[in-house]
Structure 1
Amino acid sequence: MSISHSVFVTGGTGNIGSAIVQELIAHSYQVKGLCKTAQSAHKATQLGATAVMGSLCEPQSWLSTLADCRAIIHTACTFDAQMGETDAALMRAIADQAMTRSTPLIVIYTAGCWTYGSHDAVITETTPKYSVADFRWMLDNQAWLRDKENIDLRVVSPANVVREEEHYLPPILSWELQRCGHPVLPQGEAQTWSLVERKNLAELYRLVLERGKSGEEYIGSAEHRAPLASLLRQLSEQPIECGQAALWAEQYGSWTEGYALQQVFSSEKAMRELGWQPRLFLPPSV
């Protein structure tokens, strides 16, 4: 297998990463996945990837495996108090490793829709970013990496990612339904989120790898105004409890302030430049 078809994926057994691994393998790529545990390594192998043992916190133990890879797709995050610092150290290590290469390393960096903050207008890649505090580091680390020699940086910014197997309900709404016994929303029943199904999103990552341009960002959103109350009513007849954003912060952490943002995303750039096709999954009645 040539280097042009070898890709390294962090978070390759996670929600987004596992779909990316399957998408790449289905298109004849050789995939290596970073695995912290034996359980993760087993899952990576089952997906068809080569498991590379290591962690985000100690990249020096596995960075040499990037030497025969065309790209690294970065979807992993430690989601702890040091997640920004860990990511920054990883980007520095990747940049150092890239200097030893004869060809640029493609780095596909996963940003979050919450890095944009709230906006009244539809959000595109040119919209100013007013990130929630907990994820400001995503913007800082991208900016640092963007002008590094021998790095071909491309950014994917997914909307809220859902799974077909979970009735397209955003995970935190499922968690709250189980925890409270009734549906819960951070704001009111009219609230909408932009959503994208993870396998459809994986197609976007592959297209960014194959057709994306250096330094460019691509938003991945399919259902731009998904009505959360309607999604919840498909799973529960109980009344919806609204205005729970503050309690979510206490229960899960301050990062959940992102769920209260006013956001509607557009994927016109990804469609126009890459040929990505967002797949709608909600019936017209929802």
Structure 2
Amino acid sequence: MRVFVTGGSGWVGSALVPDLVAHGHEVTALARSETSAVRLRAAGALPVPGSLDDLGTLATAATTADAVVHLGFKHDIAFGGQYDRAARDDRTAIDVLADSLAGTRKALVVASGILGVLGLAPGVVAREEDGRAAHDQSGPISGGGDRAATARHVLTLAQRGIRTSVVRLPPATHGAGDNGFTATAVAAARAAGVAAYIGDGGNRWPAVHRDDAAAVFRLAVEQGAPGSVFHAVAEEGVAIRLVAQAIGAGLGLPVVSVDAADARAHLGFLAGFWGLDGPASAEATRAALGWTPAGPGWLDDLRAGSYRDQATR
């Protein structure tokens, strides 16, 4: 297949592009800089100059592809305090891609997240069928649940003759080169001089190695049924206390429990997430796609030193 990828030089995309190529697919990928273009060529893809704001470029690239994987998101402005704008632009880009694919039965695979977006009670294991409520699927974008609402909107696009699927990523999508939540936790520990967890630290996060996550996107392109949700989850739930202990061991720092009220002083913005309990299953994903994750676990990655000398955004 000819697969067009947005975010192809990003964290998951930089694993997905070579995986697609290795499995015989021809890949074109959006490149907003020459640096990104060089990386994409090295991975075996044909760069398409442009950004998520270049809607005509997106439309043309989608029209000439057999499948589209949308990983791109304006993380730079989202982390700069303009999350709502980033979310609105994300919905616009998806709708442009969908307009180009409507009626073709081609695949449109979109990345989403698991932690904190499903509205489940603490301790309940999130499954692929959860979080598919019909409300706010196609209305205007506003508020903190934007990407979750966009994911639900993507599922409705199957009604337009598109083989849509959503791949939910865990907050701990880990590996060397990560600059997301795990790298943020390591940087926070280094800055505070302690590796902290909140309360008893028994709350759990799902996790997956970046390479295993990339394989889910490829399999969704190849096999995903219209309107599917997949979980790129290798580990159902890792206790954050154990994560803090692995971080502390790697940095040679003490490990401490902190109250939720004091967590921001130790963790910065991560304090709002670090105490959440959000285990998730990938049982249905494994059955539907034949996916078998093979990468190292989250704690193994930390113990191996993947994050020891790494900076974050």
CA contact (8 A) 2:201 2:275 kept: no
Q: 1:68 to 1:257 in 2, by over 3 A?
A: same
Q: Distance in 1 between matches of 2:198 and 2:10?
A: 25
Aligned 8 A contact 1:53 1:62 in 2: no
Cross-structure match for 1:194: 206
Partner secondary structure for residue 69 of structure 1: coil
Q: Report the secondary structure of 1:76's partner residue.
A: coil
Q: Check whether the contact 2:18–2:43 (CA below 8 A) recurs between aligned residues.
A: yes
> Is the contact between residue 212 and residue 294 of structure 2 (CA under 8 Å) also seen in structure 1?
yes
2:239 paired with 1:239 = no
The CA distance in 2 between the partners of 1:169 and 1:135, in whole Å, is 18
Matched residues in 2 for 1:165 and 1:234: separation?
A: 20
Percent identical: 22
Partner of 1:59: 55
User: 5 Å matches for 1:1-286?
Assistant: 5-79=1-75, 80=78, 81=82, 82-99=85-102, 103-114=104-115, 115-119=117-121, 120-128=123-131, 136-145=145-154, 146-147=156-157, 148-159=159-170, 160-163=172-175, 170-185=182-197, 188-226=200-238, 227-241=242-256, 242-243=258-259, 247=264, 251-252=268-269, 257-279=272-294, 281-282=296-297
**Normalised TM-score (structure 1):** 0.84
Code of the residue aligned with 1:109 in structure 2: it is V
Name whichever of 148-157 and 198-207 sits farther off: 148-157
Contact map agreement 1:157 1:217 (CA 8 A) in 2 = yes
Q: Is the 8 A contact 1:185 1:244 kept in 2?
A: no
In structure 2, give the amino acid aligned to 1:153: T
**Using the alignment, how far apart are the partners of 1:238 and 1:205 within structure 2?**
37
Which stretch shows the higher mean deviation, 224-233 or 213-222?
A: 224-233
TM-score by length of 2: 0.77
Q: 1:20 to 1:113 in 2, by over 3 A?
A: same
How far 1:90 moved relative to its partner?
0.9
Shift in alpha-carbon separation, 1:272–1:222, aligned structure 2, 3 A: same
- Other structure's SS at 1:261 match: coil
The one-letter code of the counterpart of 1:45 is R
- 1:110/1:186 Cα in 2 relative to 1: closer, same or farther (>3 Å)? farther
1:12 is displaced (CA, Å) by 0.7
Q: How many residues align?
A: 274
Is the 1:117–1:129 Cα contact (8 Å) retained in structure 2?
no
8 Å Cα contact 2:41/2:47 also seen in 1: yes
SS at match of 1:210: helix
Unaligned runs of 5+ in 1: none
User: Which consecutive residues of structure 2, in runs of 5 or more, have no partner in the other structure?
Assistant: 134-141, 304-313
Give the residue type in structure 1 aligned to 2:146: W
SS at the partner of 2:145? helix
8 Å contact kept, 2:163–2:224: no
8 A Cα contact 1:155 1:216, kept in partner: yes
Question: Following the alignment from structure 2 to structure 1, what is the Cα–Cα distance between the partners of residues 202 and 145?
Answer: 28
The range that moved more, 114-123 or 205-214, is 114-123
Is the alpha carbon distance of 1:259 and 1:67 closer, same or farther for their aligned partners in structure 2, counting shifts above 3 Å? same
For residues 29 and 259 of structure 2, the distance between their equivalents in structure 1, rounded to whole angstroms, comes to 40
TM superposition shift of 1:280: 6.2
CA contact (8 A) 2:20 2:218 kept: yes
The code of the aligned residue for 1:112 comes to: G
- Deviation, structure 1 residue 187: 5.3
